């Protein structure tokens, strides 16, 4: 037991067992998060995604299939009168939980890559009752004790319960 505790204090965590790496295997390809962004904004049909993103149909089809397989989107059949059955793509809870990730990337892009005129969109708050506060939304890191506005040097990674360590 003492050897395990010593390894936890000084051992290097195996990067192969990494939730971030697993997440990137699902949404790390450029089009995947853009599809999620559009779904968060209300797109649900193949044609909506294609028109909004300007993506080739074969690539869109492949990305939608991978997001469905990963449980980020669910495929729901629909049929317009006189048409064949088609599918809508709706966010699952897993997909909707990517909203903070999308907003964080947008904030980073706005800070470092926006045009001189500023960002092209601003994420704003609307209450659950439908009324609009209309104030801009910003992500805030917060520890479990409620501390916010954490300086970069005060945040670090430590071994979690699923950590695997590399041999010394």
Check whether 108 has a pLDDT greater than 90: yes
Residue 13: predicted pLDDT: 86
Q: pLDDT digit string (tens) for 11-48?
A: 788 888 889 999 999 999 999 999 999 999 999 999 99
Rounded-to-integer distance, Cα 40 and Cα 21, Å: 23
Report whether pLDDT(3) > 70. Answer: no
pLDDT of 132: 75
Residue-wise pLDDT tens digits, 127-147: 777 777 889 999 999 999 999
Q: For 149, how many CA atoms within 13 A lie in the half-sphere containing its CB?
A: 0
CB 85 within 8 A of CB 77: yes
* Residue 106: partners with Cβ closer than 8 Å, 6 or more residues away: 119, 121, 123
Contact 35, 68 (CB under 8 A): no
Number of Cα atoms under 13 Å in the Cβ half of residue 98: 28
Q: CA-to-CA distance for 92 and 73, rounded, in angstroms?
A: 5
User: What is the DSSP code string of 12-59?
Assistant: PBPTTS-HHHHHHHHH-SHHHHHHHHHHHTT--BHHHHHHHHT--HHH
pLDDT surpassing 60 at residue 74: yes
pLDDT of residue 131: 76
Residue 113: what pLDDT? 96
d(CA 30, CA 63): 10
Indicate whether 5 pLDDT > 70. Answer: no
Torsional class of 72: left (φ above 0), alpha (ψ -120 to 50), beta (otherwise): alpha
Euclidean distance between CA atoms 166 and 134, whole angstroms: 49
Tokens read off for 128: 């659950």
d(CA 165, CA 154): 24
């Amino acid at each position: 037991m003492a050897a395990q505790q010593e390894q936890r204090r000084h051992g290097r965590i195996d990067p192969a067992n990494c939730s971030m790496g697993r997440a990137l295997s699902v949404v790390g390809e450029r089009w995947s998060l853009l599809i999620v962004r559009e779904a968060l904004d209300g797109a649900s049909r193949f044609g909506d995604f294609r028109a909004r993103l300007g993506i080739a149909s074969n690539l869109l089809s492949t990305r939608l299939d991978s997001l469905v397989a990963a449980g980020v989107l669910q495929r729901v059949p629909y049929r317009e009168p006189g048409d064949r059955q088609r599918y809508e793509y709706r966010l699952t809870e897993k997909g909707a939980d990517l909203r903070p990730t999308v907003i964080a990337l947008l904030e980073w892009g706005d800070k470092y890559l926006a045009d001189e005129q500023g960002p092209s969109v601003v994420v704003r708050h609307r209450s659950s009752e439908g009324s609009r506060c209309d104030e801009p939304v910003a992500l805030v890191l917060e520890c479990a004790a409620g501390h916010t506005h954490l300086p970069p040097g005060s945040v670090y990674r430590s071994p979690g319960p699923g950590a695997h360590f590399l041999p010394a």
